[in-house]
Amino acid sequence: MKKNTKKFNNNSGMTLIELIVTFALLGLFMVAAGKVIADTVNVYYQAKSIQTGMQVSSIISTKITGEIEGALDDGSLEGSR
């Protein structure tokens, strides 16, 4: 009687080591991408706050200039000269 001893040489799958290395590399790439995204968002918010500050200062400067010009047109400051 002949024993049925077939060897399975099917190499179409991945080994456990290959899967571990793949997930480790994927994790490293995700950490690096997260850091880049976080830095980009931080730079965006800094630029946005600078832009908002510049807009506010421009509005305040325009208001002050208008008040000074209005005061000079009314002649209210001419008595103090």
**Tens digits of per-residue pLDDT, 6-53?**
666 666 788 999 999 999 999 999 999 999 999 999 999 999 999 999
**Tens digits of per-residue pLDDT, 56-79?**
999 999 999 999 998 888 776 555
Q: What is the pTM of this model?
A: 0.56
| Spatial contact of 71 and 77, defined as CB atoms under 8 Å apart | yes
Q: Where are the domains of the chain?
A: 44-73
DSSP labels for 19-73?
HHHHHHHHHHHHHHHHHHHHHHHHHHHHHHHHHHHHHHHHHHHHHHHHHHHHHHH
